[in-house]
C-alpha cells in the first residue's frame, strides 16, 4: 500500500551542496516525489516538530542548526515509504550510521545529520500536515510503476 513520508533536507545539506545527491537517492530507489518546497523554519514550528527533545541540553543548538539556512521539505510516496526512507537515512548519530546510508555517507555528526525523516506512518501524516497544505501536493501518474512494483504492491 502506498504511503507518504516527510523528508527535510537540513541546512547543512543545502550549504554543503548535497540537495541534488540526496534527492537523487530517493528518486533512484523508485520513490515518487509528490511535494517539494524551500522554506526557513521558525522557532514556533521547531518547538512543535522537535517537542520530544525540548528538555535535552542540545535543544537550543538543534534549533539554531535548523534555522541556520533554508531547508528543503519534500514528500515521497511509495510502498512502505516511511520505513524505506528512514532506513536510507541511517542512524541518528551519523558516526554510527552504516556506510551506504545518507547519514553514513555524508555526515560525521549526531546533530548535523543531513536529513529528517518521519519515524512512523502516524507521525508522517502529522508532520506532512505540519508543513504542507493540500494544494502543495501535485497529482500525476507515475508511468513507470508497473516496472517498479508487482500488481499487489500498488
For ligand UDP, the binding residues (CB under 6 A) are 50, 53, 58, 62, 92, 110-111, 113, 116, 119
Residue nearest to ligand UDP (CB): 111
Helix extents (H) in the chain: 11-15, 19-29, 43-49, 59-67, 81-89, 102-106, 121-131, 145-148
116 is catalytic: yes
Q: Give min distance, CB of 122 to ligand UDP, in A.
A: 14
128 three-class SS: helix
Q: Give min distance, CB of 96 to ligand UDP, in A.
A: 11
The strand pairing partners of 39, in sequence order, are: 71
Active-site residue, selected from the candidate residues 116, 124, 128, 132: 116
Torsion 109-107-124-72 (CA) sign: positive
Residue (119 or 145) nearer to ligand UDP, CB: 119
Residue (91 or 148) nearer to ligand UDP, CB: 91
Which residues, at least 6 apart from 123, have a Cβ–Cβ distance to it below 8 Å?
none
- Sole residue written with cell 541518528: 92
Q: Give min distance, CB of 27 to ligand UDP, in A.
A: 21
Q: Give min distance, CB of 7 to ligand UDP, in A.
A: 11
Residue (58 or 137) nearer to ligand UDP, CB: 58
Torsion 1-51-136-40 (CA) sign: negative
Residue (83 or 148) nearer to ligand UDP, CB: 83
Residues with a catalytic annotation lie at 116
Amino acid at each position: 500500500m502506498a504511503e507518504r513520508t516527510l523528508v527535510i533536507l537540513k541546512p547543512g545539506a543545502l550549504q554543503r551542496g548535497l540537495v541534488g545527491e540526496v534527492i537523487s537517492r530517493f528518486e533512484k530507489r523508485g520513490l515518487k516525489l509528490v511535494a517539494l518546497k524551500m522554506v526557513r523554519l521558525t522557532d514556533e514550528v521547531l518547538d512543535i516538530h522537535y517537542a520530544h527533545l525540548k528538555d535535552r541540553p542540545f535543544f537550543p543548538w538543534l534549533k539554531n542548526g535548523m534555522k541556520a539556512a533554508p531547508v528543503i521539505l519534500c514528500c515521497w510516496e511509495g510502498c512502505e515509504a516511511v520505513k524505506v526512507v528512514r532506513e536510507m537515512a541511517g542512524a541518528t548519530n551519523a558516526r554510527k550510521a552504516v556506510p551506504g546510508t545518507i547519514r553514513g555517507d555524508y555526515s560525521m555528526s549526531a546533530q548535523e545529520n543531513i536529513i529528517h525523516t518521519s519515524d512512523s506512518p502516524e507521525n508522517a501524516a502529522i508532520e506532512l500536515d505540519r508543513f504542507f497544505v493540500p494544494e502543495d501536493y501535485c497529482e500525476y501518474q507515475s508511468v513507470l510503476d508497473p516496472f517498479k512494483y508487482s500488481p499487489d504492491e500498488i
